[in-house]
Amino acid sequence: MISPADYVLLATILFVIGGVGVLIRRNALVVFMCIELMLNAVNLAFIAFARLHGGIDGQVIAFFVMVVAAAEVVVGLAILTAIFRTRRSASVDDVNLLKY
């Protein structure tokens, strides 16, 4: 029998991999994908906890997380195309006009 703790551990590992990806990748698209990976990992933890408690409130929360993630992706990718149109680059290093 797989305990919910195992699912939570898997979610932890996926979350950390996504976080490392956000730190080391410089293509903005890939950074977005790593953020999606982190959100998915948190969803897995929510569902595991819902199963631990025998309720489905955690599933409702995971559903809301999915909705928010979809909205975030839409706006983020629109920003990305807007930046690409002016800077001709998708690298996060090239977007430094607000740096100083």
Partner 1 sequence: MSHAIAVAAGSASATTEVVTFWVLAIIAVAAAIGMIVTRRAVHCAVLLAVVMLVLAAMYAMQGAPFLAFVQVIVYTGAVLMLFLFVMMIVGVSAADSLIETIRGQRLWASLAGIGLLVLLVLIVGHAAIGPAAPSGPRNGALNVNSLAALIFTTYVFPFEVTSALLITAALGAMVLAHRERTSPKPTQRALSRRRLADGHPTPLPGPGSFALNNAVDTPALLPDGTQSRLSVSGVLANRALAAGDRPGERYPGGLKLERGADEEAGQEPRQEPGQELSPGEER
If one asks whether residue 95 binds partner 1 (CB under 8 A), the answer comes out as no
* Closest CA relative to residue 59, chosen from 47, 49, 70, 67: 47
- 3-class DSSP assignment, residue 26: coil
Q: Which two tokens stand for residue 70?
A: 């979809």
Q: How far is the CB of 41 from partner 1 (least distance, A)?
A: 8
If one asks whether residue 35 binds partner 1 (CB under 8 A), the answer comes out as no
Among 52, 95, 99, 100, binds partner 1 (CB under 8 A): 52
If one asks whether residue 44 binds partner 1 (CB under 8 A), the answer comes out as yes
* Closest CA relative to residue 47, chosen from 71, 65, 35, 33: 65
Q: How far is the CB of 97 from partner 1 (least distance, A)?
A: 16
